[in-house]
Structure 1
Amino acid sequence: MDAAYSLTDNTLHCHGAWTRDAGNSLAKQLERLKSNAPEHLLIDGSDVTIMDTVGAWLLQKTIAMLEAQGSTVEMSGFSFEAEHLLTIVTEQPGAETPIPPTPHLSGFAFVGKLTIGALHQAQNMLRFFGEVFIYFLVWLKDPRRIRWRALFALIQTTGYQAIPIVALLSFLIGIVLAYQMGTELKNYGADIFLVDLLGLAMLREFGPLLTAVIVAGRTGSAYTAQLGTMKLNQEVDALQTMGLSSREILVLPKVFALLIALPLLTVIANIAGIAGGMLMSKILFGIGFEDFLSHFQKSIKLSTYLVGMVKTPVFAMIIASIGCFQGFQVKNDAESVGRHTTTSVVQSIFLIIVADAAFSILFSVMGV
């Protein structure tokens, strides 16, 4: 039955299906009530077969219009479902809670706020490092606790799969260094000393530092994203509920894998960088491969290579620890994963450079 109404004395009888399909005709019919509505009106809905939100909204709009004209409106006979819909469309949205303005901080207050935040983060980071170090000692004492399959899988992803990008970038850096230094040395007829400078730069600084920066951007960010996603999915909470340590199961294998992979990647970076410099020396400056390698063997000491390699375990600890720490700091939203992943890379690269500078000062004092 089509939706309609009839006005008898002071009673408005509603009939049929008050749905979206009859919305246009209902709206036109209800408009007529503006001119002939009584002061006291009873709306009878006992003959309404079905009502949806459109019909309820039209009826409620009509009631509001009549009350605005001074009429008194009552309703009766509607089904429970219809009354529920009328209640829903009648409810007004609550006023939004005003957002308080951000207080303006003076320069000293702003610096103090940043300092306190940095101190809190440093405290949490040191606590995290301490927990990881304790489980590290436990693993060294009882190697049976090591999850070898997970460790080897991580070595493959962090080490083996990173070889192409590390080798390529190191090779290109070797080419650039050889070109820049060789051009200047050629002006003084000291082309052969390019071998000394290239070997010193690659083995002592560029090899370890470049590899650490690449791994921080590639592996450190992956650690943060993986642990952050696990925290979002409550997998970390599930481990703790089962009485398992997330530090031992999720963090330590990553730290161990990077401690093994980063020195090996540094060796590859050193070889690729020297190879790139040797190729550029041959092409531009006419230094043959045999002459290059012979002079390299005579001029570069083993200590130069070892100085660079000593840094790599420290760089590996920084990358793995920062990456995992930031992963556990992720909150319950996807934006937090991206934010902490970015923070992980920035902090890792910053601390790597700080550590490299500290090593340079230390080795200078030691006379190495």
Structure 2
Amino acid sequence: MTDATMTLDDAGEGARTLHLSGTLTVASIGSVAPEMAAIQPDRDLKIDLGGVDRIDTTGAWIVHKLLRDWEKAGKSATLDHASDDAKRLIDQVAANDKPATRRPPHGNRAIERLEMIGGSVVHAAHTLGEFLAFLGQTLVALFQTIFERRPLRWNAVIHQMEVVGANALGIVGLLSFLVGIVLAQQGAVQLQQFGAEIFVVNLIGRSVIRELGILLTAIMVAGRSGSAFAAQIGSMKLNEEVDAMSSIGMSPTEVLVLPRVIAMVIMLTLLSFFGAIMAIIGGGLFCWVSLNISPASFVQRIQEVTPLSDLVIGMIKAPIFGFIIAVTGCFQGMQVTGNAESVGARTTQSVVQSIFLVIVLDAFFAVFFTALGYV
């Protein structure tokens, strides 16, 4: 392997000729690289590669740099007697010679945080406006169906009732039963310290019928059926089925939203009552096994300490929770755009927003009914 050598033919007033020979590789180019870099681009240049035995990307880069520097200086630089391999390698190096992209300098982090918060607030306000518009559109369609006697798709309503209610009986009943057992066990542990374990019945009856039975059922249904509404409508929106309905004169609100809203309102009311009963059964079973409170005594005590107003309050909250869950799920489904990833994102948002709204409304109802004297 021969080292790289160079000869600069600088005679005359015309173009200079740079003769390169030997091996232009990373191991040998160092002997001539400083001399090549010292050549000033004040005249045209010819680079003769006829004597080059071998060249790698380092040598190709040095040759390309000469060509580039002469081009920037407005002078001509050409290759002579270059082999096909040398030309191809130099062309590849030239094609990849792009200016490095520099990341923009960081600005004031406080300003960036404020911009991010401001953008989030604007996005939240925009989403709230769209949700209120969708809510109003749904209410208008519902009132038109009721008072103007517009046809309602009862087959779709019954199908959604089966999906939302009948198919959820198992999971709602099991979880409510277990919650009743846990509530009774934890209450008994604390009340036994004061010899007041009989008041476990009061705890179970009032908390389950008025609050926990309805709230836990609503949360389970929001995660199960509210997300399904968003995914189903989102998939239809992605496949342009919703646009097709609009183009043939069918209202997506009447066809897709109303059956789900009506089914959810009816079935969440029934599921909440069923869940409360299952929680009471679970609590009563624990009281019978661990506290020796017979089922007859438990039922009699439940009737004495649980006012009818608690059941009425729970049954008032349940359909409102169902309406909010259904509208939120359908709204997020209608917001799907772009690709399948949007379906997953909107489904997640429907669950989060439904649970958030249910808990906020439950807190509002607790304060409202307490202010009315129903404690």
Determine whether 1:221 maps to 2:239: no
Residue 136 of structure 1 deviates from its aligned partner by: 0.5
In the other structure, the counterpart of 1:27 is none
The 1-side partners of 2:141 and 2:130 are apart by 17
Q: Give how far 1:298 is off.
A: 1.3
d(CA) in 2 for partners of 1:68 and 1:108? Answer: 55
1:211 and 2:229 aligned: no
The residue type paired with residue 159 of structure 2 is A
Confirm or deny that 1:165 pairs with 2:171. Answer: yes
Match of 1:319 among 300, 322, 325: 325
Letter of the 2:130 partner, please give it: N
Provide the residue aligned with 2:282 in structure 1.
276
- Unaligned 5+ segments in structure 1 are 1-33, 36-63, 71-91
Matches within 5 A, 1:115-126: 115-126=121-132
Distance 1:69 1:222 in 2: 61
**SS of corresponding position for 1:243:** coil
Q: Which residue of 1 aligns with 2:258?
A: 252
User: Alignment partner for residue 130 of structure 1, among 129, 136, 144?
Assistant: 136
What are the residue-to-residue correspondences of 1:49-60 with 2, within 5 Å?
A: none
Distance 1:206 1:364 in 2: 16
Q: Deviation per CA, 1:225-248: give whole Å up to 9, x if none.
A: 001100111101100111211111
> Is structure 2 residue 84 aligned with structure 1 residue 66?
yes
Q: Deviations over 1:13-59 (max 9, x none)?
A: xxxxxxxxxxxxxxxxxxxxx99xxxxxxxxxxxxxxxxxxxxxxxx
Q: Give the C-alpha shift of residue 68 in structure 1.
A: 5.4
TM-score, normalized by length of structure 2? 0.72
Alpha-carbon deviation of 1:331?
Answer: 1.2
Matched, 1:199 2:199: no
Alpha-carbon offset, residue 125 of structure 1: 0.5
Residues 344 and 99 of structure 1, relative CA distance in 2, 3 Å threshold:
farther
For residues 67 and 188 of structure 1, do their structure 2 counterparts lie closer, same or farther at Cα, with a shift above 3 Å needed?
closer
Contact 2:205–2:306 (8 Å) recurs in 1: yes
Structure 1 residues 138, 144: CA separation in 2 closer, same or farther (over 3 Å shift)? closer
The alpha carbon displacement at 1:314 in A equals 1.3
1:118-149, Cα deviation, whole Å (9 max, x unpaired):
00000000011011110000111144510011
Of the three residues 260, 266, 272, the one matched with 2:272 is 266
Identity %: 43
Q: State the partner residue of 1:243.
A: 249
Residue by residue over 1:300-344, the C-alpha shift from the partner in whole angstroms, topping out at 9 and shown as x without a partner, is 111011111111111111100110010011112111111111111
Q: Structure 1 residues 189, 138: CA separation in 2 closer, same or farther (over 3 Å shift)?
A: same
Q: 1:353 aligns with which of 343, 347, 359?
A: 359
**Whole-angstrom distance in 2 between the partners of 1:357 and 1:125:** 21
Among 291, 299, 309, which residue is 2:305 paired with? Answer: 299
Q: How does 1:10-21 map to 2 (within 5 A)?
A: none
Q: How many Å separate the matches in 2 of 1:145 and 1:252?
A: 11
| Distance 1:284-1:128 versus aligned 2 partners, 3 A rule | same
Aligned pair partner of 2:370 in 344, 358, 364: 364
Paired residues, number: 289
Partner of 2:346: 340
Q: Following the alignment from structure 1 to structure 2, what is the Cα–Cα distance between the partners of residues 195 and 358?
A: 26
2:153 maps to 147
**Alpha-carbon distance between aligned partners in 1 of 2:291 and 2:338, rounded to the nearest angstrom:** 58
Change (3 A) 1:319 1:99: farther
In the TM superposition, residue 106 of structure 1 has moved relative to its aligned partner by 2.5
Alpha-carbon distance between aligned partners in 2 of 1:323 and 1:231, rounded to the nearest angstrom: 13
Q: Note if contact 2:144-2:150 (Cα within 8 Å) is conserved in structure 1.
A: no
Equivalent positions of 1:92-111 (< 5 A) are: 106-111=112-117
Q: Secondary structure at 2:195's aligned position in 1?
A: coil
- After superposition, the Cα gap between the structure-2 partners of 1:127 and 1:183, relative to the gap in structure 1 and judged at 3 Å, is same
Deviation by residue 1:152-182 (Cα, 9 ceiling, x = unmatched): 0000000110010000000000000000001
In structure 1, the partner of 2:292 is 286
Higher Rg of the two aligned structures: 2
Aligned to 2:72: none
CA-to-aligned-CA distance 1:264-289 (integer Å, 9 cap, x gap)? 00111011000000000011111000
Q: Is the 8 A contact 2:205 2:302 kept in 1?
A: yes
Spell out structure 1 runs of 4+ moving beyond 6 A.
98-104
Q: Secondary structure at the match of 2:194?
A: coil
1:209 alignment partner AA:
L
Distance 1:111 1:285 in 2: 54
CA positional deviation for 1:107? 2.7
Aligned to 2:336, the other structure's residue is in SS state: coil
Aligned to 1:367, the other structure's residue is in SS state coil
Provide the rounded CA distance (Å) in 1 between the counterparts of 2:184 and 2:135. Answer: 40
